[in-house]
Structure 1
């Protein structure tokens, strides 16, 4: 097996991944601030997140193909060029439209980088060391979005939202330079035929579903909005056609044979439930803390920091434990912890103490760190190496879809809960009543995530450790 400078390769990928994921959530805290600055509604502001997710949803399905068309270095440089230009434009943005363009460029950068990161690990590390390596990716995927709100809270308090992007820029440039020096081409370029119809169907399919759910999460009319229903229905039809098309092709754009591997499926479903749990709670909790408990953006960010930091720190540890003991002893207890914390979360009120909410958030994040990476690594380990690009493309694409669905459902449950509460309230305009409505809506969202967790827990009992057949591995190299 070829020897790689794994540390340097990982360093460059992780720095860039971290900054990309950081800016994804840093803006969440800035949204109320941006609504004032640009004089836009919450639904419009939501496009900063929706546009980002939509771009990822469209780009991710193609990454399996791109990984076979371009060298590792070409994709890395392309991804960083897009991220750096996007971040620079965002830092200079003086109106909402320019900021949206910048976000799309950032999303293109991230959409190329994340699959590249997973695929590189699968190629560079032997199976028995992958858990720890994936743990570091877990650190980036969880810790970066978690530090986003805290750092953004400080920047907004003392500077302006532009500094969220000014802060990211130098790190992206450093990541690019490290990558240019050390990153090697680890995948072979096979240039499979590009099937235009597959590209179009996947764009309409994944794009339509992500767009429909994101749109549903925005307005008050949610599911009654014809745009929402149309785009989800059109998206689903396109996805069915896309699936049929992939099955009929000799060199599919997204190889659906990955679904023949049972542990891959279990791992993927567990990752998707984690994604829905995290995104729903990461959107609702800051809103509840700021609008329900009337805390500042900075305090909110600080409250979410310990749990998120711990999740990041534990991720590589969990990866090593996974390498040693396999997934079952991590995943099942992890989901039990998540279920317990969400059950407590479903009864938080405006009177709950800060310490109580912080410790619940810590519990939630520890539980998630026990589930996410072990489940994902175990699933990917079952695939033969020629399916690695497709396996990572499928998981990353569906993660975006699950994220969009989770976010939309959370916002819809929150809004309808608030409306129901205020409808029966004697004084619906009073601040205390609005705060109580926020609390009522948030409690319902946590009940929804609890249901998702319990479904995940039921699936976790089917997880088995994948024993990688080294004979097939060695014959490849």
Structure 2
């Protein structure tokens, strides 16, 4: 049934209690994002447990990213068909089921299936969380609310590797999942009591062709770039995945522009600040990934640190980043985006420049300092910029805007991973080819550092591009719904 004629008037939310709703969202987000970062450190243990190769174990990460990347664009449609409670509780129940499957898995395929189910929950939840914040808070108060969400999104990945290292050393890998189960159950019970329905149900027509093109397009690109980081850019699988994904994505875009009820409403890009920030986030996420990927590798491969030690070294920056997120949100509400975003981008670029000079003799204290500086810059940019972009959209475009932002971040993550791993590998190989003793452990370390410098230099160029884009950012005001309908 085509129900586009349903009343789409927004709900009256003037008397709603925002605190419990935000708390429910934050608890769920923390559980999902913490789990996403817990597993990577356990890869060596899992390879021994299931007697599999590194290429196979990487599927736990690749499949997770792939499922989230495919599902997020579809959430714009799902949020118009199902209530806030239905979406969030379904997401957390899926996540809980996936966690139980992972924790009890006796063969690798079962672990992979559980990971995919977890990804389904995460992919549903993150856009719902951002859309709910946009709906229940007026534009002048969204910065503080998004800052609280940022506290979770930024601090959970910081805590994850350290906590994972402690669990692995004290128990075994299954406890990475078992310890998450009570948190997931608590999140479900808390949300069942306190989370309210705030979204507008319009039930637009389901366009199966658009869903198919979206899945092939975004899935092909994310898979192709993810495999490029492992197999190289000349791999036939990589080339064909990216080509097929790009063609499907182009057809998807054409289909959305021609549709009166698009799956993902690209008219959000008609709003200039949304378009600018979407591009800025794509570039910024690639800059962030240059350090997220390279720094742990540097600490373990060049400095010989254990996974737990590497996690502890990165912990201060992550905690400060999380604590800065609410502060940035409050400052955003008071002063607007420019006083945060432009200095934040400059600080980020400066920190990436400092990373280009580190080597195997660099002190741990200096690395911790640069990492803290980097994440202070990132915290000044991420949530204020996204809030600025989403503030410019009318309410009917909120689900589409949040889905677009989250999808671009998944694509940027895949591109960033592939780009910086390939640059680092190429630079390392080039150094060793000119080395008199390439098999020497010292030369291997120097080769790694040389490749890392090449990758950080590219990261620096990207950071300067982000700074250039940030110069054009400004405070936005949300258009009224009736103006949007008239347009």
TM-score by length of 2: 0.94
**Structure 2: distance between partners of 1:91 and 1:345:** 38
Return the TM-score normalized by structure 1: 0.96
Do structure 1's residue 345 and structure 2's residue 323 form an aligned pair? no
Please state how far the C-alpha of 1:471 moved relative to its aligned partner: 8.8
Of residues 175, 180, 183 in structure 1, which corresponds to 2:192? Answer: 180
Q: CA deviation at 1:24?
A: 1.3
- The equivalent position to 1:381 in structure 2, one of 382, 391, 403, is 391
1:38, CA displacement in angstroms? 2.9
Q: Which runs of 5+ in 1 are unaligned?
A: none
Cα contact 1:261–1:382 (8 A) shared by 2:
yes
**Paired residues of 2:94 and 2:120 also in contact (CA < 8 A):** yes
The 1-side partners of 2:349 and 2:44 are apart by 30
Deviations 1:21-61 (A, max 9, x none): 11212222222333333333322222111111100111011
Would you say 1:61 and 2:73 are equivalent positions? Answer: yes
Q: CA deviation at 1:138?
A: 1.2
Paired with 1:360 and 1:461, the residues of 2 have a C-alpha distance of: 24
Contact 1:5/1:182 (<8 A) preserved: no
1:285 paired residue number: 295
Distance in 1, Cα, partners of 2:365 & 2:46: 29
Instruction: Provide, for residues 209-252 of structure 1, a one-character-per-residue CA deviation record: whole Å limited to 9, x for no partner.
Output: 00000010112xx1111111111011111111001101111100
Return the alpha-carbon distance in structure 1 between the equivalents of residues 222 and 37 of structure 2. 18
SS in 1 for 2:243: helix
User: Secondary structure of 2:39's partner?
Assistant: helix
1:102 aligns with 2:117: no
Counterpart selection for 1:90 from 102, 112, 119: 102
Matches within 5 A, 1:353-372: 353-372=363-382
Preserved contact between residue 270 and residue 372 of structure 1 (Cα < 8 Å): no
Q: Tell me how far apart the structure 2 counterparts of residues 83 and 428 of structure 1 sit (CA, whole Å).
A: 46
Indicate the residue corresponding to 1:49 in structure 2.
61
Q: Is the 8 A contact 2:392 2:479 kept in 1?
A: no
Would the aligned equivalents of 1:214 and 1:405 in 2 still touch at CA under 8 Å? yes
**Hey, what does 1:201 align to over in structure 2?**
213
Give the conservation status (yes or no) of the 8 Å contact 1:268–1:375: no
Could you tell me how far apart the structure 2 residues matched to 1:16 and 1:403 are?
22
C-alpha separation in 2, matches of 1:298 and 1:26: 12
Counterpart position of 2:5: none
Structure 1 residue 265 displacement after superposition: 1.2
CA distance in 2, matches of 1:421, 1:35: 30
Pair 1:137-2:160 in alignment:
no
* Farther off after superposition, 411-420 or 305-314: 411-420
1:237-293 superposed Cα distances (whole Å, 9 cap, x missing partner) = 111100110111110000000000011112222222232222231122111111111
CA root-mean-square deviation:
1.8
**Structure 2: distance between partners of 1:225 and 1:292:** 28
Instruction: Encode CA deviations 1:114-155: one digit per residue, 9 max, x unaligned.
Output: 000001001111111100111111112211112111111111
CA distance in 2, matches of 1:183, 1:435: 52
> Aligned partners of 1:158 and 1:273: how far apart in 2?
39
- The one of 309, 318, 339 equivalent to 2:319 is 309
Query: Is residue 306 of structure 2 the alignment partner of residue 296 of structure 1?
Result: yes
Task: Tell me what 1:447 maps to.
Answer: 457
Deviation at 1:472, TM superposition (A): 6.1
**Pair 197,54 (structure 1): closer, same or farther in 2 beyond 3 Å:** same
Inter-partner Cα distance in structure 1 for 2:322 and 2:355? 21
SS of equivalent to 1:89: helix
Q: How many residues align?
A: 474
CA contact (8 A) 2:271 2:393 kept: yes
CA distances 1:2-24 after superposition (whole Å, capped 9, x unpaired): 22221111111111111111121
Distance 1:32 1:439, change over 3 A: farther
Q: Does residue 324 in structure 1 map to residue 334 in structure 2?
A: yes
- 1:431 corresponds, among 424, 437, 441, to 441
Distance change (3 Å), C-alpha of 1:371 and 1:144: same
Matches within 5 A, 1:6-155: 6-155=18-167
Asked if residue 224 in structure 1 is aligned to residue 234 in structure 2, the reply is yes
Question: Deviation string for 1:375-401 (max 9, x for gaps)?
Answer: 000000000001001001111111111
The verdict on how the C-alpha distance between 1:472 and 1:362 changes in structure 2, with shifts beyond 3 A counting, is: farther
Matched, 1:163 2:175: yes
Distance (Å, rounded) in 2 between the aligned partners of 1:469 and 1:203: 31
Paired residue for 1:253?
Answer: 263
Q: How does 1:232-271 map to 2 (within 5 A)?
A: 232-271=242-281
Pick which of 50-59 and 89-98 moved more: 89-98
Report Cα offsets for 1:47-84 as digits up to 9, x if no partner.
11111110011101101000001111111111011100
Q: 2:428 aligns with which of 418, 426, 429?
A: 418
Cα distance in 1 for partners of 2:45, 2:367 equals 24
1:471/1:232 Cα in 2 relative to 1: closer, same or farther (>3 Å)? closer
Give the Cα–Cα distance (whole angstroms) in 2 for the partners of residues 135 and 254 of structure 1.
26
Structure 2: tracts of 5 or more residues without a match = 1-11
